[in-house]
Amino acid sequence: KPMEGRISDIGPHKYDDYFPPMIKKNFGKWLYHEILEPGVLMHVAESGDKVYTVRVGGARTMSITHIRELCDIADKYCGGYLRWTTRNNIEFMVDDEATMKALRDDLNSRKFPGGSFKFPVGGTGACVCNMIHTQGWVHCHTPATDASGPVKCVMDALFDEFDHMRMPAPVRVSLACCINMCGAVHCSDIGLVGIHRKPPMIDHEWADQLCEIPLAVAACPTAAVRPTKVEHNGEKVNSIAIKEDRCMYCGNCYTMCPALPIADSEGDGIAIMVGGKVSNRISMPKFSKVVVGYIPNEPPRWPSLTKTVKHIVEVYAANAEKYERLGEWAERIGWESFFKLTGLEFTHHLIDDFRDSAYYTWRQSTQFKF
Ligand code: SF4
Ligand code: SF4
């Protein structure tokens, strides 16, 4: 369909082409919203119109049959409209209460053959919402951990908190599979970050053939990469040298040069950060802080990671005051008490000196190693 005022036909249609009629009619004129029950929101517009939203948990990787079923439900109740949230939840919107109740009951009644919910209703308010996460081993080139695997295991362990609102405040958990963090982990209540702990390996046979060596040199933020000549199969070839004590294992050089793979089954793993948020409610937005420096990758069920995250959530839930986000609670009681209550070990890897001048601190330098 031609798009008025658009200078290109590349990319998705303008977002408001997809609005349900009721949303289009009241765009920019919403007065307030309430959470009626876990997973059900009601937005009220200046016109008096009401929109009821039923939110269900979704998986990041979905089969075609699963998506078709979602579309069939949207056709049946919502005029064919549905939306995905950034946390991989799916939202159905209707404009009367009776339809909302029928839709909610229908969604809750659909189960997988083993009896688990296909479309669990929840993810609102003071709950553990679905996890936002990145691509993982299959889809990206620099991951230090998987995404879908650990996310599935952690959410399985926290699922009872998805469809209740009995946490002190919202708990937002995120996972980024490397420190590039394309998953907003740096400002989540609990952030899981894949970390490498070894420098890239150098494939001298392919470095000159697969890579623009100057690009790999320029990609390194710590100037650890330099061009060199090495002996390979009896000849001198152009290649790369890495000054290992400067390397902070970020993987940027591998992004530029496939002859510098960094994934390593022993070196790679996950760090846990806590206490971040983007909300302005009660206190300013905060960055998360590292509280566990390293947990090994343990596919397929990541037991150590899952147990540690569940434990942090349980200690927070038992000790924080109502409305207190995890970081606000830790700051009120003091981080020392946070480590005492959770039983997590405090090591020098966790020293937070980020506020010191202009990044030139011990933790922000290449002297800092996991
Ligand atoms: Fe790729 Fe890193 Fe993003 Fe994971 S976090 S998808 S490895 S850039
Ligand atoms: Fe430089 Fe990062 Fe590559 Fe290490 S991993 S050599 S710090 S670009």
pLDDT in tens, 205-246: 999 999 999 999 999 999 999 999 999 889 999 999 999 999
Rounded to whole angstroms, the Cα distance separating 45 from 112 reads 37
Cα→Cα distances 263→4, 76, 268, Å: 47, 46, 7
| Tokens 């003071």 belong to residue | 126
First CA to last CA distance, the chain: 53
What pLDDT was estimated at residue 180? 83
Our answer on whether the CB atom of 200 is closer than 6 Å to any ligand 2 atom is yes
Asked whether the bond before 299 is cis by omega within 30 degrees of 0, the reply is no
Q: Which atom of ligand 2 is nearest to the CA of 219?
A: 8
- Residues lower than pLDDT 70 in the chain: 1-9, 183-184, 352-370
What pLDDT was estimated at residue 10? 74
In order, the DSSP letters of 24-57 are: HHTTT-EEEEEEEETTEEEEEETTS-EEEEEEEE
286-299 residue pLDDT tens: 889 999 999 999 99
Q: Which of 253, 364, 365, 366 to mutate to test the pocket of ligand 2 (most atoms within 8 A of CB)?
A: 253
**Who contacts 166 (Cβ-Cβ below 8 Å, separation ≥6)?**
126, 127, 317
Our answer on whether the CB atom of 143 is closer than 6 Å to any ligand 1 atom is yes
What pLDDT was estimated at residue 351? 78
pTM of the entire structure?
0.90
**Who contacts 195 (Cβ-Cβ below 8 Å, separation ≥6)?**
144, 178, 179, 249, 268, 269, 270, 271, 294, 370
What pLDDT was estimated at residue 369? 57
Q: Which atom of ligand 1 is nearest to the CA of 142?
A: 7
What pLDDT was estimated at residue 365? 56
Our answer on whether the CB atom of 199 is closer than 6 Å to any ligand 2 atom is yes
Rounded to whole angstroms, the Cα distance separating 257 from 260 reads 6
Strands 132-133 and 173-176, sheet pairing: parallel
Nearest to 219 by CA among 198, 206, 236, 200: 200
Nearest to 118 by CA among 126, 107, 105: 107
| Tokens 């090591």 belong to residue | 347
Q: How far is the CA of 255 from the centre of ligand 2 (A)?
A: 10
Our answer on whether the CB atom of 247 is closer than 6 Å to any ligand 2 atom is yes
Cα→Cα distances 144→124, 216, 296, Å: 31, 20, 10
Our answer on whether the CB atom of 257 is closer than 6 Å to any ligand 1 atom is no
**Who contacts 139 (Cβ-Cβ below 8 Å, separation ≥6)?**
none
Rounded to whole angstroms, the Cα distance separating 250 from 199 reads 9
In order, the DSSP letters of 238-250 are: EEEEE-GGG----
Q: How far is the CA of 23 from the centre of ligand 1 (A)?
A: 34
What pLDDT was estimated at residue 362? 55
Q: How far is the CA of 218 from the centre of ligand 1 (A)?
A: 20
What pLDDT was estimated at residue 233? 87
What pLDDT was estimated at residue 12? 76
Our answer on whether the CB atom of 122 is closer than 6 Å to any ligand 2 atom is no
ipTM above 0.90, yes or no: yes
Which residues on adjacent β-strands are paired with residue 354? none
Q: How far is the CA of 131 from the centre of ligand 1 (A)?
A: 15
| E-assigned strand segments in 297-368 | none
What pLDDT was estimated at residue 185? 74
Rounded to whole angstroms, the Cα distance separating 127 from 172 reads 8
Our answer on whether the CB atom of 293 is closer than 6 Å to any ligand 2 atom is no
